[in-house]
Amino acid sequence: MADKLCLITGGAGFIGSHAAEAMLARGWRVRVLDDLSTGSAANLASAAGAELVRGDVRDLMKVRAAARGASCVLHLAAKTSVPGSVSNPIEYHDVDATGTLTALEAARIEGVRRFVMSSTCAVYGDGGPQPAGESAPAAPVSPYAAAKLAAETYCLSFGRSRMLEPVVLRYFNVYGPRQRPDLPYAAAVPAFIKAFMEGRRPVIFGSGLQTRDFVYAGDVALANACAAEAPAPPPGPYNIASGRECTVLNLLEAVAAAFGVPAEFDRAPQRPGDLERSSADARLAERSLGFRASTGLAEGISKTVEWFRRRPGLTGRP
């Protein structure tokens, strides 16, 4: 594996930077293509040796140049906010669907065989069977999920016409070090941590009884490595999840416990596009890719809180 090159689009982002570390640790050379719109070069501080190319994933010539010589693409570049996509559906389609098609085409032209795409559990929508298995019908609620489903469809079509070997991964709710707490629609874990660090009560949207499967970023990075290295995996899609269903209130309690403070919070109305229930059957990835998430919620939250405590600019005490 020593001389194999992997291109990671969106590799300067939260999950992409964990994927970069995982691939380097397994002996791959890593090149990152990222427009740094939500990611940053600083995220790659622990990925020594990763090459960073600044560019837009919708720019075919730029992605082709970045993919040249690679034997694998991990495609993570995307706009990722559900509420953001409700306000800006065309931009989300452009980056998440057309951007994926552009990355696929670049990989095909440059002769890259393996193409691992980051999709989302949001494609299942609300009201389907729980826990969701991969055969559950897709019923996207948000434009973000619709764009990701379109991207998945392009990946699978490139596989069926033997243009390359796609592997589609549907992540559930990922959390961990380097997830941004400062974006308008920050995910629950960094938003809760930031609130506790600033001595505020975190906000829960809706009842707090909505459920999610929270999976640690290091585990998702490992899922990408397994998908990159599996000898001839079926294209999926594969749920990438912990297999544990957790309410947002339980999550808040876990974060509060890591700070040793009471789990007090304020309420706000449910946000458009948010799902009531989301739980995963994660067994297919184990059977076909040899991947299983191994980080428990308390362990993952504790590692994440520890990272935030060390982070410059967020040094307040709970």
CB of 193 to ligand NAD, least distance (A): 15
- Could you say whether residue 97 binds ligand NAD (CB under 6 A)? no
**3-state secondary structure labels for all residues of the chain:** CCCCEEEEECCCCHHHHHHHHHHHHCCCEEEEEECCCCCCHHHHCCCCCCEEEECCCCCHHHHHHHHCCCCEEEECCCCCCHHHHHHCHHHHHHHHHHHHHHHHHHHHHCCCCEEEEEEEHHHHCCCCCCCECCCCCCCCCCHHHHHHHHHHHHHHHHHHCCCCEEEEEEECEEECCCCCCCCCCCCHHHHHHHHHHCCCCCEEECCCCCEECEEEHHHHHHHHHHHHHCCCCCCCCEEECCCCCEEHHHHHHHHHHHHCCCCCCEEECCCCCCCCCCCECCHHHHHHHCCCCCCCHHHHHHHHHHHHHHCCCCCCCC
Question: Pick from 1, 25, 27, 37: which binds ligand NAD (CB under 6 A)?
Answer: 37
CB of 198 to ligand NAD, least distance (A): 22
- Could you say whether residue 14 binds ligand NAD (CB under 6 A)? yes
Question: Pick from 118, 142, 224, 279: which binds ligand NAD (CB under 6 A)?
Answer: 118
User: Can 144 be counted among the known catalytic residues?
Assistant: yes
| Nearest residue (CB) to ligand NAD, 58 versus 292 | 58
- Could you say whether residue 143 binds ligand NAD (CB under 6 A)? no
Site stretch for ligand NAD (CB under 6 A), options 29-37, 203-211, 227-235, 249-257: 29-37
CB of 12 to ligand NAD, least distance (A): 5
Cα separation, 7 vs 20, in Å, equals 9
CB of 208 to ligand NAD, least distance (A): 19
Cα-trace Rg, the chain: 19
| Nearest residue (CB) to ligand NAD, 156 versus 201 | 156
Catalytic site residue from 92, 124, 144, 171: 144
- Could you say whether residue 236 binds ligand NAD (CB under 6 A)? no
- Could you say whether residue 258 binds ligand NAD (CB under 6 A)? no
- Could you say whether residue 105 binds ligand NAD (CB under 6 A)? no
Question: Pick from 12, 67, 168, 254: which binds ligand NAD (CB under 6 A)?
Answer: 12
CB of 120 to ligand NAD, least distance (A): 4
Residues recognised as catalytic: 144
Residues that bind ligand NAD (CB under 6 A): 10, 12-16, 34-39, 56-58, 76-80, 95, 99, 118, 120, 171, 173-174
